[in-house]
A = this chain, B = another copy of it.
Amino acid sequence: MAAAQLHTRPVGIIGGMGPAAGADFVRLFVNACNAYLTRTGFKVVDQAYPEHWLVQVPVPDRTEALCNGHDAPLPALQNAVERLQTCGANTVAIACNTAHAWHTKLQQNHPRVELLHVAREVARQLKNTGVKEVGLMATQGTYRTALYDTALSQAGIVCHCPLDNERETLMRGIYQGVKTGDLAYARACFVNVAQRLQSRHGDLTLIMGCTEIPLALEDAPEASHWRLLNPAQVLAQALAERAYN
């Protein structure tokens, strides 16, 4: 039986930011495992999936902390890393782009855990596929920390950001839209900003750089021919590769 030859190790996912995005991250991870099994010729059965843990914990608002210059989200994130490590997960993904502002501290404080970095994974994939220019849809916290700018510029990729009022529109879509369950409102906000980015910069790849954005934007009729990149999907693929390594 092919499954018996598979080498897997437990991995962990920190979610709750928001919880719907965390649930969706598990779906993306499972899809990535299925794709791995299919690609490598293993039979796709329940027992061929690696052990994986999701913990969804209340974490103080990330963007609020970054805009006000404090580290309120850090203790909850640290606690989650430690508890996932206790569960045997030595590779961990954070299902929230903005929370990566604390990636360096978390990684320094937990040197034995491999903490994946969403923007570096995205930059690597974009570089591998020859993309030179992108638009970034994200939270104010993510813009403020230049999370993607750093990783993308190191990969030689130009990153276009929305204007101030457009960033506010994205924040409304995330907070008053997805986080409260009003996907129609969120969709309208995200479509609006995506269209403005495209009208200024052409038909470019759009990074949905907040895990809430794909939940409302991916199935928008307007987006059916857009080049949308879901960083959660890239991160889930990276996590699946580690789980099977």
Binding site for B on A (CB under 8 A): 16-20, 22-24, 26-27, 29-31, 33-34, 38, 44-49, 51-61, 83, 86-87, 179-181
In the assembled complex, 15 residue pairs joining A and B whose CB atoms fall closer than 8 Å, in A order, are A16-B49, A19-B33, A20-B30, A22-B26, A22-B30, A23-B26, A23-B29, A27-B27, A45-B179, A46-B58, A46-B59, A47-B58, A53-B54, A54-B54, A83-B87
**Nearest residue in B to A175 (C-beta to C-beta)?**
B45
Q: Which residues of B contact A179 (CB under 8 A)?
A: 44-46
Check A44/B181 contact, CB under 8 A, given A19-B49, A22-B26, A52-B56. yes
With most chain B CB atoms within 10 A of its CB, the pick from A24, A56, A57 is: A56
Bound Cα distance A17, B45 (Å): 10
**Nearest residue in B to A57 (C-beta to C-beta)?**
B51
Is B27 a contact of A23 with CB atoms below 8 Å?
yes
Q: Which 9 A-B pairs have the closest CB atoms?
A: A23-B26, A54-B54, A23-B27, A47-B58, A19-B30, A18-B46, A44-B180, A19-B49, A34-B181
Bound Cα distance A33, B179 (Å): 12
Q: How far is the CB of A62 from chain B (nearest CB, A)?
A: 9
Q: How far is the CB of A195 from chain B (nearest CB, A)?
A: 28
Bound Cα distance A126, B29 (Å): 34
**Nearest residue in B to A180 (C-beta to C-beta)?**
B44
Q: Which residues of B contact A33 (CB under 8 A)?
A: 19
**Nearest residue in B to A43 (C-beta to C-beta)?**
B180
Given A46-B61, A47-B61, A87-B87, 5 additional A-B pairs, CB 8 A: A20-B34, A23-B30, A26-B56, A46-B59, A52-B56
The one of B27, B34, B47, B55 in contact with A53, judged by C-beta atoms closer than 8 angstroms, is B55
With most chain B CB atoms within 10 A of its CB, the pick from A19, A27, A48 is: A19
Q: How far is the CB of A150 from chain B (nearest CB, A)?
A: 26
Bound Cα distance A23, B179 (Å): 19
Bound Cα distance A53, B23 (Å): 11
Is A54 a contact of B26 with CB atoms below 8 Å?
yes
